[in-house]
């Protein structure tokens, strides 16, 4: 704990170089909800949404503590919240045993990993944080410090979409030019689950509403489907499998770019596309929907060959990396990815 305390002092005087609370507004609301609930003022569910229950609870809390009833969270309100009102995220290093506003903000950002948001950094919090760190190429030490905060800051502010009648994961993903898989993972909901009107979905970072002017620019889905079938037959891949994977990754959209830089119909990382061009094909495929499909299907063929035709492991290798699958087995989210792709088999 000595290392935690010493570094915490250093971070609190600005070593991070980040603006206080440079993260999603909904995470701040969730931290407020945790603080209000801890003090006996029920704000409704800890969902990060500033609804009437949260607003009423805040005003009641301020009235009870002799604070001007502004409905805003200022210094006086934070002081009255005690340990649950400070410090802001990024002002200290967080590890097991920490309690505070910043812990609640962090937990809310990690909620897709099954965390309860209560402002207490426990061993369960550390496990979820390690998964986040591993996914984003950070050292998985379960401690929130400089690099973790910078990665969180790059994720941007949370955008919400309220599900309308007749909408699905795939139609919503197409509307915002994001991957259906990203959308489901962002909300901790398998794509095989049913979503209902009125349900709030968090949109992945980089989501942008498709405008009528841009709607006609990408290749039509049927054209993309034909390209997938063409290259699947050419490389000896089951077209139903290739289509299920492409639908899972992008919903047959070419203008999708993920938060980690994966692009196109097959959601290829630039380094993966370069590997296919350089090692597997020996020539550069065009950076079009057609070239993306060719490179993606060829990479799927490579995964199938690597795992001796085992479809489940090939899909796991696609998502997690072939070497990681061989060395550590399948992560939980990899298993979910594989399960959903196989559920889509023959349906698209």
What is the C-alpha separation between 178 and 262, in angstroms, rounded?
Answer: 11
Q: Among residues 93, 107, 186, 249, which one is catalytic?
A: 249
Can you name the residues that pair with 160 across neighbouring β-strands?
202
**What token pair was written down for 176?**
């915002």
Give the C-alpha separation, 165 to 108, whole Å: 28
The DSSP string of 251-298 is SS-SS-B-TT--BTTTTB-HHHHHHIIIIIISSPPPSSHHHHHHHHHH
Q: Catalytic residue at 249?
A: yes
Q: State the DSSP code for 59.
A: H
| Distance from the first to the final alpha carbon of the chain | 53
Number of H helices and number of E strands within the chain? 17, 2
Rounded to 5°, angle at Cα 165 from 160 and 170: 65
Side-chain-side CA neighbours of residue 185 (13 Å): 20
36 contacts 104 by C-beta, under 8 angstroms: no
Catalytic residues: 249
């Amino acid at each position: 704990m000595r290392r935690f305390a010493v570094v915490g002092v250093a971070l609190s005087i600005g070593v991070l170089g980040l603006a206080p609370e440079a993260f999603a507004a909904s995470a701040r609301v969730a931290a407020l909800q945790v603080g209000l609930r801890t003090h006996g003022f029920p704000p409704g569910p800890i969902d990060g949404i500033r609804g009437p229950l949260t607003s009423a609870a805040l005003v009641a809390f301020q009235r009870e503590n002799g604070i001007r009833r502004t409905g805003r969270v200022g210094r006086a309100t934070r002081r009255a919240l005690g340990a649950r009102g400070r410090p802001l995220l990024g002002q200290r290093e967080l590890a097991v045993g920490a309690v505070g506003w910043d812990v609640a903000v962090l937990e809310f950002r990690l909620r897709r990993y099954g965390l309860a948001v209560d402002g207490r950094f426990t061993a369960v919090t550390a496990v979820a944080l390690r998964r986040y760190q591993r996914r984003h190429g950070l050292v998985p030490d379960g401690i929130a410090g400089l690099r973790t905060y910078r990665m969180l800051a790059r994720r941007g502010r949370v955008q919400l979409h309220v599900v309308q009648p007749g909408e699905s994961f795939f139609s919503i993903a197409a509307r915002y030019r994001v991957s259906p898989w990203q959308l489901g993972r962002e909300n901790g909901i398998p794509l095989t689950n049913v979503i209902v009107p009125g349900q709030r979905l968090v949109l992945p970072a980089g989501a942008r509403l498709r405008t009528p002017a841009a709607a006609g620019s990408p290749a039509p889905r049927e054209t993309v489907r034909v390209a997938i079938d063409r290259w699947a037959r050419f490389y000896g891949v089951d077209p139903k499998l290739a289509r299920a994977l492409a639908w899972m990754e992008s919903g047959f959209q070419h203008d999708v770019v993920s938060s980690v830089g994966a692009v196109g119909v097959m959601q290829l990382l630039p380094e993966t596309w370069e590997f296919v061009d350089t090692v597997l094909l020996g020539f550069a495929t065009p950076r079009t929907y057609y070239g993306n499909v060719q490179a993606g299907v060829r990479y799927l063929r490579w995964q199938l060959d690597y795992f001796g035709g085992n479809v489940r492991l090939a899909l796991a290798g696609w998502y997690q990396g072939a070497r990681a699958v061989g060395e550590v087995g399948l992560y939980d989210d990899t298993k979910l990815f594989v399960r959903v792709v196989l559920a889509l088999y023959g349906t698209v």
